[in-house]
Amino acid sequence: MNERAAQALGELVAVVARLRGPDGCPWDRAQTHRSLVPYLLEEAYELASALADEDPAAIKEELGDLLLQILLHAQIEAEAGRFDIADVADALREKLIRRHPHVFGQEKMETPEEVRAQWEELKKEEGRKKTEDRAKPALIRASKFVEVQEAQGKPVPTGRFIRLADAEDVETAVAEALLEVVAVARKYGVDPELALHRFLETHG
């Protein structure tokens, strides 16, 4: 890391600590890990949108907003005496080195596919995959579930929404179908996110 980047990040960490300090901002001081989760997700989606638009100014701003969430969570842990942002950086550095033996070790990998397969295998060895799956949004987990089912020759039936095949705008038709499912779930008092998570836990 160059000197300018190290200084800028150090000053930013100090600002976040001040916001959470005794003479800081009442709102920032009142936040907990749980209360910040909606903001973390919101900022992640806003960054994803900026990346999709390939707008450099928006990307820079949204990266900053997401970084703020990370620093707030790290600061909460630092105040509890468990770890700080330096420990987060150290743990990430160690994981990147461990997960890239073809770069930092003697193994040889020639294609992105080989690297991805190795990454997944190392995650399994670390016992991380199941925990990470549960943390993902249900629709992302469901997409992976369908992909695996298809690979095993057991495609998920799609007869209920067969009309999508005839739609001129398939993306809009899919969105409308999802909204219809959400509306049905709401009518019967079912949380669609939780319902899908529970189904994948049972069948995944």
153 secondary structure, DSSP code: T
Q: Which two tokens stand for residue 110?
A: 């020639």
Residues 6 or more apart whose CB falls under 8 angstroms from that of 71 comprise 12, 13, 16, 85
Q: Which two tokens stand for residue 104?
A: 């930092």
pLDDT in tens, 153-194: 777 666 665 566 666 787 788 887 888 888 888 888 887 887
Calpha distance 59→48 (Å, rounded): 9
Residues 6 or more apart whose CB falls under 8 angstroms from that of 139 comprise 196
Q: What is the pTM of this model?
A: 0.66
Model confidence at 129: pLDDT above 70: no
Domains of the chain: 3-92 (1.10.287.1080), 156-204 (no CATH)
